[in-house]
Amino acid sequence: MITYALTAPSPFGKYVSESVAAAMRKSKFRNFELTFSQYIKDDEQSRTAARLTRQLIDEGIIRPVSVHLPFTGGGLSWDPSTLDEGLRKETSARFIKMIRDYADQMAPMATIHASGEGIPLSEHPQRIGQVCKTIEEMLPIAGELGFVINVEFLPRTCLGNCVEELRQIVSNFDPDQVGICLDVNHIMNRYRDLPAMIDTLAPRIRSFHLSDYDGVDETHWLPGQGIHDWPELMRHIRAIDHDVLLILETTCQLTHNRREIDSIFALRQNERACWFLENCDKLMPEIEKFQIPGN
């Protein structure tokens, strides 16, 4: 079975605010991947976001189905693969502390980036060992709080930017403990390989980050506005023989140039994106046959 969710609060900005909370109360979404990056700094915005998120959970407005752990921000290291062993241990401890501090917001899954940006390919083999150490150190709290760690498929020269590296990382762990979050925007110019990648990684895939793009670099557009063949992708996603979580991650388009947008508008666009994905096998042939009047 597939289940849809929306990343939060990134389609609306960096933090859950009073206006975002009001919009969520009017939304059809109840499943959210909570972005823990809003808790990196202990400031008024962060404390307000935590209070509102807890309130929304208590009201039944938010159902945390995944959390996204930080990968940058606050002038701190969030790279679990760093070759500096002392810094790696600090990063691991920082993840564990954040999870414990916000344990009441934890979900059945936690998404983690295996590295930061700009990693030399020559370092990848050693860094795979480092990120596995970090995941190993996180497993006790994952077991205690009952969540699976999902390693995200990343772009460019990041660790975990190909099938082989993802398999190397996750194969060190029990499938019930460590899975994969496949971000379909991170495939760069290899988008034609995506259906085969889904099939290969299917046993370990627990979640997807869904959005569209230009076939060159990540843009996180709404599904249907880019290069992806959504009927084909949805066929391969539906062929996975276990439950998967489809998380809409449309940040960049809806917050272009970091401008503020109406939270209701952002929610409605993503609600319609779910409808599109559920019906794309019928819609896309109709779109292709459509003739523009007067042309």
The pLDDT, as a whole number, for residue 14 is 85
CA distance 178 to 114: 12
pLDDT 10s digits, 232-273: 999 999 999 999 999 999 865 555 555 566 788 889 999 999
5, 90, 134 from 234: Cα distances, Å? 16, 40, 33
CA distance 194 to 221: 17
CA distance 46 to 218: 27
The bridge status of strand 2-8 relative to strand 31-35 is: parallel
pLDDT 10s digits, 126-159: 999 999 999 999 999 999 999 999 999 999 999 9
CA distance 131 to 122: 15
Band of pLDDT at residue 13, cut at 50, 70 and 90: confident
- In the chain the domains, ranked by start, together with CATH numbers, are 2-289 (3.20.20.150)
